[in-house]
């Protein structure tokens, strides 16, 4: 009690910046104390020297080892810009080309939803989560069985994304076996557009199918100009580590640069697989590959939006799969966020909410949470792959629903602890402590007025008492996520596209 009074005295002293007399004479015009800014917990894993050394190594790779550019047009353009020909397809890149590209690429990328609302401002370390793409299998929502993905699954994932607050963009989550394989990416794009109005990150195979996807996107946005002003799409493309740039990959990248479609270009420079087993070297290689993409991209479309960052996971040393649940990937992308802040200034691409587990079990939950919270704490920007199981081979609807809750939990943590008169709650403490017998905080007005914003209120994580949990069916987390997913898919209404837009999309599909 005595301590509390002392604290109040202290606080009063701090607040009375004006002379007492003036204070009394003119109460309304009192100068208010400065608010204490809230520190938002933040993870850092590299110091400036480490960041600069990795960057320097990436530049050295490009200048000394060079890279294999298989697109003749891109090769010619790079040589004109100052690259040196090593032999055949191999080029060397002087570092000033990288500096130029970093200068012209925009530091801020904004994605809009399909209605033209600004929903993903990728700036200031703002994090947004979304699903992944191209999984071969999915876990069936009804039977739990692992089976090949079909077109309807792509639609279901998009609809689920549309209905979940913390999942901000959609990817296909599947390569369906029931659509013509030569235009698979056009079909999955159309399926996503029909089932969500959120932004879409899409894949294409070459310059051919990406043009069709672009046509569909223009129909949705209203016109080419409208799409350029308020892009709702971002293209995901990858080079092949180490240092190989296939022709079809470059076709897509150059198409996007020309049309100002935002892109990311993360090669799979996985430690021990496409890249050296040590994480610093794997990052340097992946960044070097990303920089080649950036340079070509900026030469084709100066100022076109480019989301930075490689995917640096690990090759598992027993199974040789690329891990989606390992701590290394989270660590390298946190390091990349530091490099963004120290050097690049471009928003970055990241992953989270995935697992190597084969079913949505405790391993899946642990691995998903690990990557979700570290991606948030390190302020990664566009965070994909939410909902993957089996090292990205299998998609799982319930995983996405679970991740939605885990992201809420992580966001709550990352917002920190606001320290104000209201949150210090001195008066409430005094009322309850000194109040009538039986005074409790639960009945105090302060609690009623503040609990909603002060506490994390879980929706799916279970805190019920044992007996009520048991009588409600003794359901585990997986089963609760299953039910919630089914509920969303049956109840959530996606605002439909106008009939004429749907008609034009179907015409595009028919004329493939």
Interacting residues with another protein (CB under 8 A): 134, 136, 175, 181, 184, 205, 240, 244, 246, 272-274, 277, 315, 317-321, 393
Taking the least distance from each CB to another protein, the nearer of 325 and 347 is 325
Q: What secondary structure, in 3-state letters, does 151-190 show?
A: HHHHHHHHHHHHHCCCEEEECCCCCCCCCCHHHHHHHHHH
Q: In angstroms, give the least distance from the CB of 204 to another protein.
A: 11
* Nearest alpha carbon to residue 58 among 97, 104, 84, 8: 97
Q: What's phi and psi for 436, nearest 5 deg?
A: -60, 155
Q: Are 495 and 197 in contact (CB under 8 A)?
A: yes
Q: In angstroms, give the least distance from the CB of 393 to another protein.
A: 6
Q: In angstroms, give the least distance from the CB of 273 to another protein.
A: 6
- Biggest distance spanned by C-alpha atoms of the chain: 88
Q: In angstroms, give the least distance from the CB of 318 to another protein.
A: 6
Q: Are 100 and 298 in contact (CB under 8 A)?
A: yes
Q: Are 509 and 190 in contact (CB under 8 A)?
A: yes
Q: Tokens for 25?
A: 């004479």
* Nearest alpha carbon to residue 317 among 372, 279, 271, 348: 271
Residues 6+ positions from 393 with CB-CB distance below 8 Å: 135, 136, 137
Q: CA 196 to CA 69: how far, in whole Å?
A: 37
Taking the least distance from each CB to another protein, the nearer of 125 and 272 is 272
Taking the least distance from each CB to another protein, the nearer of 105 and 179 is 179
Taking the least distance from each CB to another protein, the nearer of 344 and 351 is 351
Taking the least distance from each CB to another protein, the nearer of 74 and 220 is 74
Taken in order 37, 41, 47, 51, the sign of the CA dihedral is: negative
Q: What's phi and psi for 404, nearest 5 deg?
A: -55, -45
Q: In angstroms, give the least distance from the CB of 248 to another protein.
A: 9
Quote the crossing angle between the two packed helices 207-221 and 247-259, to the nearest 10°. Answer: 30
Taking the least distance from each CB to another protein, the nearer of 56 and 181 is 181
Q: Tokens for 434?
A: 């000194």
Q: In angstroms, give the least distance from the CB of 391 to another protein.
A: 8
Q: In angstroms, give the least distance from the CB of 136 to another protein.
A: 4
- 245 Rama sector, left if φ>0, alpha if ψ -120 to 50, beta otherwise: beta
Q: In angstroms, give the least distance from the CB of 188 to another protein.
A: 11
Taking the least distance from each CB to another protein, the nearer of 56 and 317 is 317
Q: In angstroms, give the least distance from the CB of 351 to another protein.
A: 17
Q: Are 131 and 153 in contact (CB under 8 A)?
A: no
Taking the least distance from each CB to another protein, the nearer of 246 and 345 is 246
Q: CA 266 to CA 307: how far, in whole Å?
A: 9
Taking the least distance from each CB to another protein, the nearer of 277 and 362 is 277
């Amino acid at each position: 009690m005595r301590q509390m009074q002392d604290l109040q005295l202290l606080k009063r002293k701090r607040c009375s910046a004006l002379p007492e007399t003036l204070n009394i004479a003119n109460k309304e015009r009192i100068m208010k104390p400065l608010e204490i800014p809230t520190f938002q917990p933040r993870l850092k894993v590299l110091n400036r020297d480490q960041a600069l050394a990795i960057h320097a190594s990436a530049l050295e790779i490009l200048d000394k080892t060079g890279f294999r550019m298989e697109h003749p047009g891109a090769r010619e353009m790079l040589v004109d810009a100052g690259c040196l020909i090593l032999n055949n397809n191999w080029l060397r890149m002087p570092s000033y080309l990288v500096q130029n590209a970093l200068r012209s690429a925009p530091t801020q990328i904004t994605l809009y939803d399909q209605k033209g609302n600004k929903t993903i401002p990728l700036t200031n370390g703002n994090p947004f989560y979304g699903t992944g793409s191209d999984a071969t299998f999915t876990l069936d929502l009804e039977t739990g069985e692992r089976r090949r993905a079909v077109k309807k699954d792509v639609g279901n994932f998009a609809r689920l994304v549309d209905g979940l607050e913390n999942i901000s963009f959609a990817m296909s989550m599947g390569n369906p076996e029931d659509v013509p394989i030569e235009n698979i990416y056009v079909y999955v794009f159309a399926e996503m557009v029909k089932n969500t109005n959120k932004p879409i990150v899409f894949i294409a195979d070459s310059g051919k199918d990406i043009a069709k996807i672009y046509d569909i996107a223009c129909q949705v946005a209203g016109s080419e100009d409208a799409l350029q002003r308020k892009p709702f799409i971002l293209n995901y493309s990858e080079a092949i580590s180490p240092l190989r740039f296939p022709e079809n990959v470059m076709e897509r990248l150059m198409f996007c640069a020309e049309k100002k479609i935002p892109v990311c270009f993360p090669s799979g420079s996985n430690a021990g697989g496409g890249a050296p087993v040590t994480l610093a070297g794997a990052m340097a290689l992946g960044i070097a590959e990303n920089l080649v993409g950036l340079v070509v991209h900026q030469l084709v479309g100066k100022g076109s939006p480019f989301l930075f960052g490689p995917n640096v996971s690990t090759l598992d040393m027993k199974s040789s799969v690329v891990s989606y649940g390992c701590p290394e990937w989270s660590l390298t992308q946190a390091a990349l966020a530091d490099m963004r802040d120290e050097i690049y200034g471009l928003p970055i691409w990241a992953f989270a909410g995935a697992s190597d587990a084969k079913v949505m079990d405790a391993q899946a939950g642990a691995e998903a949470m690990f990557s979700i919270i570290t991606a948030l704490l390190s302020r990664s920007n566009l965070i994909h792959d939410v909902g993957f199981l089996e090292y990205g081979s299998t998609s799982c609807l319930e995983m996405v629903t679970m991740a939605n809750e885990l992201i809420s939990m992580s966001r709550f943590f990352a917002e920190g602890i606001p320290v104000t008169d209201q949150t210090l709650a001195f008066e409430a403490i005094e009322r309850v402590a000194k109040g009538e017998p039986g005074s409790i905080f639960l009945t105090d007005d302060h609690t009623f007025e503040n609990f909603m914003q002060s506490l994390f209120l879980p929706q799916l994580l279970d805190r019920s008492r044992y007996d009520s949990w048991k009588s409600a069916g003794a359901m585990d987390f997986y089963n609760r996520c299953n039910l919630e997913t089914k509920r969303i898919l049956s109840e959530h209404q996606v605002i439909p596209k106008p009939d004429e837009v749907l008609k034009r999309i179907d015409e595009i599909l028919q004329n493939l």
